[in-house]
Structure 1
Amino acid sequence: MAARFKVKRKGIGQMLRMPGMQAEMLRRAEVIKSIAVSLSPVDEGGPHPGHYKESWEADSVARGGRRRDRAVGYVRNTAYYARWVEYGNGTGTAPARHVLLRAAEIGGRNQ
């Protein structure tokens, strides 16, 4: 006799928000954060050497995503100039480093 399975949206939603799922999203975010820290440039001659590298954070919430219906992990840099390190300044004097993008690509393969 073949097994039968009926999808229940409520059960899938509960699974996507359960503490174990949130813990796994945090674990994955921490992996990406550690890679981002290792890839972060340090301007030894700048006014705050190492500040960008020390400003990485990883977090997880149970109700995230577009519809706020699943556990998600976040990785962000709180340095005020993190946007310019990631994307460049648009004038060509500060090139785009894509630290978070590269960390996510590497971390995604190493999960």
Structure 2
Amino acid sequence: MPARVKIKRKGVGQMLRMPGMQAEMLRRAEVIKGVAVAISPVDSNSPHPGHYKGSWETDSTSRGGRRRDRAVAYVRNTAFYARWVEYGTERVPAHHVLLRAAQLGGRNQ
């Protein structure tokens, strides 16, 4: 006779908000941040070389996601020009640092 499992939504919601789940999400974000720092471009001709590379940060919360019902972690760059480095402009090619870091960081888990 096959085994039967009954899952309660409330229990799944509690599991997705557990401190251990939040810690794991933050650990994964730190791995991605490490890769992003390693592959960040540095313009030695700019007035603040290395500012973009040093502006990576991570954060986590137990109330994230579309419905605010699960633990999530964020990786972001606080440099005001981070969007232009990531996606490029008419004159500057896109570097896709965060995209590549997420792809490479997922492999290094």
The residue correspondences of 1:69-80 to structure 2 (distance < 5 A) are 69-80=69-80
Give RMSD over aligned pairs.
0.9
Mapped to 2, the partners of 1:62 and 1:103 lie a distance apart of 23
> SS of 1:49's equivalent?
coil
> SS of 2:103's equivalent?
helix
Q: Deviations over 1:73-93 (max 9, x none)?
A: 10000000000000001x1x2
The one-letter amino acid paired with 2:82 is A
Structure 2 gap segments, 5+ residues each: none
Percent identity among equivalent residues? 78
The one-letter amino acid paired with 2:6 is K
Structure 1 gap segments, 5+ residues each: none
Q: TM-score when scaled to structure 1? A: 0.95
> SS of 2:5's equivalent?
coil
Structure 1's consecutive aligned runs of 4 or more residues displaced over 6 angstroms after TM superposition are none
Equivalent pairs counted in the alignment come to 109
Partner of 2:101: 103
Per-residue deviation, 1:5: 1.1
Partner of 1:7: 7
Mapped to 2, the partners of 1:50 and 1:110 lie a distance apart of 25
Q: TM-score when scaled to structure 2? A: 0.96
Mapped to 2, the partners of 1:95 and 1:109 lie a distance apart of 26
Mapped to 1, the partners of 2:3 and 2:16 lie a distance apart of 24
